[in-house]
């Protein structure tokens, strides 16, 4: 019971970092020429200069900490105190920023503002706040988003984020992350997570603190909860992630829910209408000058709308997703702008996301309605090639001929047949490294290199560590939200049982009813439970996160059970991978 139960029963509280055809005529008459593959990689390397570590003075009392981590943190100095906007991705990154801020002013911190929920903006808050009672401001949607990224899909998005940001890459492989030098978060990083204490609904909220008056304006874009920090008297706009110096990430390959690009474009138009004289993004360097900012935001908005409109145009022509990525190309007057180079987002990924947002996964080809399983398809492809040896020979030929994508795709068939074959894994790794070396998009480059390391057996992504301090801040609702996705359908196929949870320190009660492969969960005490588990919420969170061993807690009597300890153990084991 002890070790197996602790290993299997994880309710998903471990914090996430964050907590995816032939050519046809395109959507405009004049397109930018495709860049030389070698120059794209060189351009990405040169882009690193954008993230030189520096505390930039934007204006009197306004400082942007660039290059200390993936995101920026912004310091606002008022008459009698300080406000910090966004807090970095880890305690380690935040500590470096705090040291730089302390060199500017010794005034007390009065408030923290979070522009949105992304982990690289929120997981360093505790370093700045320390043990003081300081309010953290955000939009009300931020709370639900923070709860979501610490449950449900957090395990897979953590792994994908580590690849995308190149967290474990070495020198010579890692250039940058497209919008920052690196993500300073891995399985050993410290989280200094603090939940927002003051939230607002609607479009605007006026924050008065530290002798400053700020307008917090809800402008959804990269996220639905995104807020801008506007200083109207000084015409300074802190724009979160709605603008940074790269083509925007209208879809992220680490995985996310649909980003409504029309909403993003409308927010950019609203931002442009403010007439800012200083634009302070939370990734990349500030932009100054009203005319310059107007040009940048206009181009950014137009690029997003162009990709949206031409994708929909192609959809209505009946183009498949594969055809659409060749159909939609930015016009040269936009593609050539340095702030629209595809170092972070790409037009192709954006097109696929827009298609999926409107029509879902089905591309319209009936051959995709019930495709062959990967292994069966791979076997048929091998037979078509004249055997697995011939398929392997073609993959090697393609690799040496510089047809790296074809070699990579063939490696998928080969590994579907023999997943652990060292020669096939080696070929896949070589194809991935060849693609990475010529890639100008940081996310793609980092992902290729990271998966090459995995194929070589040099990298195995595990869960990030999580501290009790972080776990205690996660609400019970987030813990129970994850339980349903942990239920093993085979183990529970004949089980009909109801467990009641009563939490002695919060007064809350929850029902978890297993009904033959489905877990019905609600925040109430059931009428006739088969089991009653009485436990402090603080302890239950640590058990759910794998910090405390449930068997030891049962043995010590820290958990009271009605209905039998072994029955409770059997019930909880249903929720293990």
The verdict on residue 184 lying in a domain is: yes
**CA 219: distance to chain centroid?**
19
Q: How far apart are CA 293 and CA 552, in angstroms?
A: 60
CA-to-CA separations, 436 to 429, 431, 432, 441, 574, in angstroms, rounded: 10, 9, 6, 9, 42
Does one domain contain both 339 and 381? no
The more confidently predicted of residues 15 and 239 is 239
> Does residue 369 form part of some domain?
no
Q: Which of 295, 277, 294, 284 has the alpha carbon at shortest distance from 60?
A: 277
CATH number at residue 402: 1.25.40.880
Would the pLDDT of 82 be above 50? yes
Phi, psi of 230 (to 5 degrees): -115, 130
Residue 106 neighbours by CB under 8 Å, 6+ apart: none
Count of the separate structural domains present in the chain: 3
Give the angle 269-272-273 at the CA atoms, nearest 5°.
90
Assess contact for 169 and 449: CB atoms under 8 A: yes
Strands 531-535 and 496-503 come out as: parallel
Is 499 found in the same domain as 444?
no
As a whole number, mean pLDDT of residues 383-397 equals: 98
Tell me whether residue 232 is in a domain.
yes
Tens digit of each residue's pLDDT (9 = 90 or more) over 444-465: 999 999 999 999 999 999 876 6
- Mean pLDDT for the stretch of residues 259-287: 98
What pLDDT score was predicted for residue 14? 36
For residue 368, being part of any structural domain is answered with no
User: Is residue 434 within 8 Å of 418, Cβ to Cβ?
Assistant: no
Residue at 436 is within a domain:
yes
The conformation of residue 31, written as its DSSP 8-state character, comes to B
Residues 450 and 346 in one domain: no
Residues 127 and 118: their CA atoms lie apart, in Å, by 17
- At residue 22, the pLDDT reads 30
- Averaged pLDDT for residues 174-193: 93
Residue 468 has pLDDT above 60, yes or no: yes
Q: Are residues 177 and 323 in the same domain?
A: yes
Nearest to 189 by CA among 544, 454, 470: 470
- Residue with the bigger pLDDT between 6 and 328: it is 328
439 and 509 in a single domain? The answer is no
- Rounded to the nearest integer, the mean pLDDT of the chain is 92
Q: Which pLDDT belongs to residue 482?
A: 87
Q: 398 and 317, same structural domain?
A: no
460 domain-assigned:
no
Count other Cβ atoms within 10 Å, centred on residue 425: 20
Q: Which domain holds residue 486?
A: 2-14+466-573
pLDDT tens track for 5-60: 444 444 433 333 233 233 333 343 334 344 456 688 999 999 999 999 999 999 99
**Does residue 116 sit in the same domain as residue 82?**
yes
Q: Are residues 351 and 449 located together in one domain of the fold?
A: no
Same domain, 337 and 437: no
**Strand-strand pairing, 73-77 and 509-515:** unpaired
CATH of the domain at 64: 3.60.15.30
* Sign of the alpha-carbon torsion through 67, 68, 73, 76: negative
Contact (Cβ atoms closer than 8 angstroms) between residue 331 and residue 306: yes
Residues 187 and 95 in one domain: yes
Q: In what order do the strands lie in the sheet with 204-209?
A: 204-209, 212-218, 227-231, 236-238, 278-280, 287-288
Q: How far apart are CA 164 and CA 169, in angstroms?
A: 10
**DSSP label at 180?**
S
**401-412: per-residue pLDDT in tens?**
999 999 999 999
**Are residue 72 and residue 100 in the same domain, yes or no?**
yes
Query: In this structure, what token pair is assigned to residue 484?
Result: 């349903």
Q: Is residue 321 part of a domain?
A: yes
* DSSP category for residue 280: E
Residue finishing a domain among 409, 430, 455: 455
Q: What's the pLDDT band for 552 if we cut at 50, 70, 90?
A: confident
Q: What does the alpha-carbon distance between residue 433 and residue 451 come to, in Å, rounded to a whole number?
A: 9
Q: What is the mean pLDDT of residues 424-431?
A: 99
pLDDT digits (tens, 9 = 90+) for 507-547: 999 999 999 999 999 999 999 999 999 999 999 999 888 88
Are the beta carbons of 391 and 381 closer than 8 angstroms?
Answer: yes
CATH number of the domain residue 525 falls in: 3.30.1050.10
- Reading phi first (left if > 0) and then psi (alpha if -120 to 50, else beta), residue 281 is in beta
The verdict on 279 and 326 lying in the same domain is yes
Q: Is 124 inside a domain boundary?
A: yes
Looking at residue 464, its pLDDT comes to 67
Boundary (domain end) residue, out of 403, 421, 455:
455
Per-residue tokens: 473: 């801040």
Q: In terms of Cα–Cα distance, which of 334, 242, 225 is closest to 279?
A: 242
């Amino acid at each position: 019971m002890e070790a197996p139960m602790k290993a299997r029963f994880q309710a998903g509280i471990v914090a996430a970092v964050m907590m995816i055809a032939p050519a046809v005529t395109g959507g405009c008459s004049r397109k930018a020429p495709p860049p030389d593959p070698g120059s794209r990689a060189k351009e990405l390397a040169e882009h690193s200069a954008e993230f030189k570590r520096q505390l930039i003075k934007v204006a009197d009392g306004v400082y942007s900490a660039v290059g200390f981590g993936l995101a920026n943190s912004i310091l606002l100095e008022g008459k009698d105190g300080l406000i910090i906007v966004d807090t970095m991705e880890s305690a380690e990154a935040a500590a470096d920023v705090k040291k730089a801020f302390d060199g500017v002013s010794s005034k007390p911190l009065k408030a923290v503002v979070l522009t949105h929920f992304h982990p690289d903006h929120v997981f360093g808050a505790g370093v700045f706040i320390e043990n003081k009672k300081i309010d953290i401001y955000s939009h009300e949607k931020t709370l639900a988003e923070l709860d979501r990224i610490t449950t449900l899909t957090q395990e897979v998005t953590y792994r994908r984020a580590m690849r995308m940001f190149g967290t474990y890459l070495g020198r010579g492989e890692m250039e940058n992350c497209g919008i920052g030098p690196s993500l300073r978060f891995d399985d050993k990083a410290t989280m200094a997570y603090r939940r927002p204490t003051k939230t607002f609904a609607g479009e605007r909220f006026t924050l008065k603190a530290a002798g400053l008056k700020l307008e917090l304006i809800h402008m959804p874009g990269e996220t639905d909860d995104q807020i801008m920090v506007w200083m109207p008297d000084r015409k300074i706009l802190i724009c979160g992630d709605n603008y940074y110096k790269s083509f925007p990430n209208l879809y992220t390959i680490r995985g996310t829910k649909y980003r409504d690009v029309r909403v993003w474009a409308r927010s950019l138009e609203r931002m442009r209408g403010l007439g800012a004289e200083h634009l302070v993004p939370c990734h990349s360097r500030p932009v100054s000058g009203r005319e310059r900012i107007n040009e940048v935001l206009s181009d950014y908005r137009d690029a997003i709308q162009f990709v949206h409109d031409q994708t929909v145009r192609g959809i209505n022509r009946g183009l498949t997703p594969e055809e659409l990525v060749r159909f939609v190309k930015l016009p040269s007057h936009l593609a050539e702008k340095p702030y629209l180079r595809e170092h972070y987002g790409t037009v192709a990924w954006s097109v696929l996301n827009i298609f999926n947002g409107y029509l879902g996964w089905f591309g319209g080809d009936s051959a995709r309605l019930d495709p062959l399983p990967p292994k069966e398809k791979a076997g048929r492809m091998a037979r078509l090639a004249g055997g697995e040896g011939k398929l392997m020979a073609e993959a090697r030929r393609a690799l040496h001929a510089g047809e790296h994508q074809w070699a990579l795709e063939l490696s998928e068939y080969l590994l579907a047949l023999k997943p652990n074959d060292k020669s096939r894994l080696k070929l896949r790794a070589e194809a991935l490294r060849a693609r990475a070396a010529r890639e100008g998009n940081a996310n793609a480059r980092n992902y290729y290199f990271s998966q090459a390391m995995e194929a070589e057996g040099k990298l195995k992504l595990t869960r990030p560590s999580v501290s009790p301090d972080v776990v205690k801040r996660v609400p019970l609702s987030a813990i129970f939200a994850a339980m349903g996705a942990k239920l093993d359908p085979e183990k529970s196929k004949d089980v009909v049982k109801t467990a009641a949870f009563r939490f002695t320190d919060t007064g809350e009660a929850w029902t978890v009813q297993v009904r033959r492969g489905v877990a019905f969960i609600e925040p109430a005490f059931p009428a006739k439970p088969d089991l009653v588990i009485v436990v402090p919420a603080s302890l239950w969170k640590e058990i759910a996160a794998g910090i405390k061993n449930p068997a030891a807690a049962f043995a010590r009597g820290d958990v009271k059970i009605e209905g039998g300890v072994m029955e409770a153990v059997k019930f909880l084991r249903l929720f293990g991978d």
